[in-house]
Amino acid sequence: MIATLYGKLQARADDTIIVNVGGVGLRVRVSASTVAGLGAVGSEVQLFTHLRVREDELSLYGFATEEELRLFETLMTVSGIGPKVALGVLSAAPTETVRMAIAQGNLEVLTAIPGIGKKTAQRIVLELKGKLDLGGLAEAGALSPLDEDVMNALINLGYSAAEATRAARSVPSNVKTVEERVRIALQYLGGG
């Protein structure tokens, strides 16, 4: 139905924006990463969209990339996962982190996402493992086993999956011990 939107950003909130397309303001639910990538109110935006049609409402979901849209739609194929939870997953962690966690069966990363408990994480892995396109993850900087250990340690300390992934990737590759990598990642997160 509606595959993309192109128009002026009229208003923005945490998880909703209004895009003016030809004089019509469309309310679009978006992930945190999409909101972060948008310009100021009044700037031009282009979104890839998913229209959800229910008996009593039409909901439009927008994404900055086609990859994010595909992951959103794939997550909604899992029993018990609706658009709200799928959007929450995309807001909490980068798409490559979620895809890699599913491919590797890494429940710690998934359960660190708000709204995803252990049973839901297991169901996601069970239903989607082997179904996700993992192309491009190596180029996107898939995490090494050491980086995964750092990321899991940071998640256990209360950082979000997105923060932990960014911090783990910030550590120079010549640092070899997990303890030292965690220390450097914590400095990165602390801004010093």
State how beta strands 44-53 and 24-30 pair: unpaired
pLDDT confidence bin for 162, thresholds 50/70/90: confident
pLDDT confidence bin for 133, thresholds 50/70/90: low
Q: What is the mean pLDDT of the chain?
A: 85
Q: How long a stretch of residues is the chain?
A: 192
DSSP 59-114: EEEEESSHHHHHHHHHHTTSTT--HHHHHHHHHHS-HHHHHHHHHHT-HHHHHTST
Check pLDDT > 50 for residue 56: yes
Answer yes or no: CATH 2.40.50.140 is held by domain 4-63: yes
Average pLDDT of the residues in 109-118 = 86
CA nearest 78: which of 116, 106, 40? 116
* 3 state DSSP class of 183: helix
Identity of the residue numbered 35: V
Check pLDDT > 90 for residue 63: yes
Q: 3.40.190.10, 3.40.50.1820, 1.10.150.20, 3.40.50.2020: which CATH number matches 66-128?
A: 1.10.150.20
pLDDT of residue 169: 79
Kindly report the number of other CB atoms within 10 A of residue 56's CB atom.
Answer: 4
pLDDT confidence bin for 83, thresholds 50/70/90: very high
Average pLDDT of the residues in 86-115 = 85
Domain ranges in the chain are 4-63, 66-128, 145-190
Q: What is the pTM of this model?
A: 0.71
Instruction: Return the CATH fold of 145-190.
Output: Helicase, Ruva Protein; domain 3 (1.10.8)
What tens digit of pLDDT does each residue of 28-46 get?
999 988 888 888 899 999 9
pLDDT of residue 138: 46
Check pLDDT > 70 for residue 192: no
Check pLDDT > 60 for residue 136: no
